[in-house]
Structure 1
Amino acid sequence: MARISIMSVIGSAVPAPLRKLGLLACWYLVRDGEAVSGPMTSLPAAQALASQLESTRWQA
């Protein structure tokens, strides 16, 4: 099973609703090039979710 990675996007790649809130960057969790989470508004939140998903994967 592939590892979860964190991908950041900036500028015009940030979804419009987040840009309207003034955010210029967001983060996604990806596995095998496919997004496994929606856009997250902070890197610590993305890291926490990635850690949670990784630990759940090994318990299954």
Structure 2
Amino acid sequence: MSQVQIMSVIGSAVPAPLRALGLLACWYLVQDGEAISGPLTSLPDALALSQRIGQGQLSA
């Protein structure tokens, strides 16, 4: 199984709805070059989700 990685994006790469809230950065979980999560608003959230995925704790 491929490793899940955390990718950060900043500035204009942040989705417009998040920029409208004043967020200038967001994070995605990525596996095999494909985003497997929507934009996350904090690094701690991204880390927690990646750990849950790694432990198989997500429900379908």
TM-score category of the 2 structures, normalised to the smaller one: over 0.9
Alignment of 1:9-28 (within 5 A): 9-28=9-28
Pairwise CA distance, 1:6: 0.2
| Higher normalized helix content (fraction of residues) | 1
- Give the structure 2 partner of residue 8 of structure 1: 8
Alignment of 1:1-60 (within 5 A): 1-56=1-56
**Aligned-pair identity (%):** 68
How many correspondences in the alignment?
A: 57
Q: TM-score, normalised by structure 2?
A: 0.92
How far apart are the structure 1 equivalents of 2:23 and 2:39?
11
Q: Over residues 1-55 of structure 1, what are the superposed CA-to-partner deviations in whole Å (9 max), with x where a residue is unaligned?
A: 1000000000000000000000000000000000000000000000000000001
SS in structure 2 of the partner of residue 37 of structure 1: coil
Provide runs of 4+ in structure 1 moved above 4 Å.
none
Q: TM-score, normalised by structure 1?
A: 0.92
How far apart are the structure 1 equivalents of 2:53 and 2:25?
22
